[in-house]
Chain A
Amino acid sequence: MEQQLADLAAKVAELEAKAGVTNTMFAETYYYLTIPLMIIIHAGFLAYEMGASRQKNVLASGIKNILAFAFMVPTFYFFGWWVYWGFPTGLTFSAGPNGISGAEYANAIALPWVEYMGPNISDQASGVFWGAFTLFAATTASIFSGAVIERIQVVGFVILAIVLGSFAWVVAAAWGWHADGWLVQKWGVHDFGAAGLVHAVAGFFALGVLINLGPRIGKFNDDGTANHIGAHNLPFTLVGLMLIIVGFWGFLMACIIVPGEAWSWYADKATTIYGTPMTLSSLAFNILMGFSGGIIGAWAITRDPFWMMSGALAGIIATASGLDVYWPPLAFVMGAAGGALLKPCATWLEKRGIDDAVGAVTVHGTIGIFGLVMFGVWAQGLPALQGEGVASVTIIGQIVGAVVFFLLGFIPGYVVSYILKKLGLLRVSKEAEIAGLDMAKVPVSAYPEGISVSSVPAE
Chain B
Amino acid sequence: MWFDLANWDAATGPIYMGANGSAEVIWTVLAALVCIWALIMGSRHELDAYKKMKK
Residues of A within 8 A of B (CB): 275-278, 282, 289, 293, 296-297, 299-300, 303, 322, 324-327, 329-330, 332-333, 336, 378-383, 385-388, 392-393, 458-459
Classify the secondary structure of B's interface with A. Answer: helix
Q: Which B residues between 1 and 30 are near A, CB-CB below 8 angstroms?
A: 1-9, 11, 15-19, 23-24, 27-28, 30
Q: Is the CB of A386 within 8 A of B16?
A: no
Q: Is the CB of B18 within 8 A of A327?
A: yes
Q: Which residues of B contact A383 (CB under 8 A)?
A: 3, 5-8
Q: Is the CB of A382 within 8 A of B11?
A: no
Contact A300 B8, CB 8 Å, known A382-B17, A458-B49: no
The CA-CA distance from A277 to B1 in the complex, in Å, is: 18
Determine which of A276, A277, A296, A325 lies in contact with B17 in the assembled complex, contact meaning CB atoms within 8 Å.
A325
Could you list 19 further interchain pairs (A-B, Cβ under 8 angstroms) beyond the known A296-B38, A379-B3? A282-B16, A293-B34, A296-B34, A299-B42, A300-B38, A300-B42, A322-B17, A325-B17, A327-B16, A327-B17, A329-B28, A329-B30, A329-B32, A332-B34, A333-B30, A383-B8, A386-B9, A387-B7, A392-B3
Interface mask (B38-55 → A, CB under 8 Å = 1, otherwise 0): 100110010001001000
Q: Which residues of A contact B11 (CB under 8 A)?
A: 277
The CA-CA distance from A385 to B42 in the complex, in Å, is: 43
Q: Is the CB of A277 within 8 A of B37?
A: no
Q: Is the CB of B8 within 8 A of A276?
A: yes
Q: In angstroms, how far is the closest chain B Cβ from the Cβ of A103?
A: 29
Contact A378 B17, CB 8 Å, known A299-B38, A303-B45, A327-B27: yes
Can you list 16 residue pairs at the A/B interface with Cβ under 8 Å? A282-B15, A300-B41, A303-B45, A325-B16, A327-B24, A329-B32, A330-B17, A332-B31, A333-B31, A378-B1, A379-B1, A379-B2, A380-B2, A382-B3, A383-B3, A458-B49
Please give the number of chain B residues whose Cβ is less than 8 angstroms from any Cβ of chain A in the complex.
31
Q: Which residues of B contact A299 (CB under 8 A)?
A: 38, 42
The CA-CA distance from A322 to B9 in the complex, in Å, is: 19
Determine which of B2, B9, B27, B34 lies in contact with A381 in the assembled complex, contact meaning CB atoms within 8 Å.
B2
Q: Is the CB of A380 within 8 A of B3?
A: yes
Q: Which residues of B contact A380 (CB under 8 A)?
A: 1-3
The CA-CA distance from A325 to B41 in the complex, in Å, is: 31
Q: Is the CB of A300 within 8 A of B37?
A: yes
The CA-CA distance from A392 to B1 in the complex, in Å, is: 14
The CA-CA distance from A293 to B28 in the complex, in Å, is: 13
Q: In angstroms, how far is the closest chain B Cβ from the Cβ of A107?
A: 31
Q: Which residues of B contact A303 (CB under 8 A)?
A: 42, 45
Q: Is the CB of B9 within 8 A of A329?
A: no
Q: Which residues of A contact B3 (CB under 8 A)?
A: 379-383, 392-393
The CA-CA distance from A329 to B17 in the complex, in Å, is: 11
Q: Which residues of A contact B45 (CB under 8 A)?
A: 303
Q: Which residues of A contact B17 (CB under 8 A)?
A: 322, 325-327, 330, 378-379, 382
The CA-CA distance from A277 to B37 in the complex, in Å, is: 36
Q: Which residues of B contact A324 (CB under 8 A)?
A: 15
Q: Which residues of A contact B42 (CB under 8 A)?
A: 299-300, 303
Q: From A324, A325, A393, A459, name the one whose CB has the most chain B CB atoms within 10 angstroms.
A: A325
The CA-CA distance from A71 to B46 in the complex, in Å, is: 47
- The 5 A-B residue pairs with the shortest CB-CB distance in the complex, in nearest-first order: A329-B31, A329-B27, A381-B3, A382-B3, A332-B31
The CA-CA distance from A326 to B9 in the complex, in Å, is: 19
Q: Which residues of A contact B6 (CB under 8 A)?
A: 383, 388
Q: Which residues of A contact B41 (CB under 8 A)?
A: 300
The CA-CA distance from A449 to B34 in the complex, in Å, is: 46
Q: Is the CB of A327 within 8 A of B34?
A: no
Q: In angstroms, how far is the closest chain B Cβ from the Cβ of A17?
A: 28
Q: Is the CB of A382 within 8 A of B2?
A: yes
Q: Is the CB of B5 within 8 A of A382?
A: yes
Q: In angstroms, how far is the closest chain A Cβ from the Cβ of B35?
A: 7
Q: Which residues of A contact B38 (CB under 8 A)?
A: 296-297, 299-300, 336
Contact A333 B15, CB 8 Å, known A300-B42, A386-B8: no
B49's nearest neighbour on chain A, judged by CB, is A458
Q: In angstroms, how far is the closest chain B Cβ from the Cβ of A19?
A: 23
Q: Which residues of B contact A296 (CB under 8 A)?
A: 34-35, 38
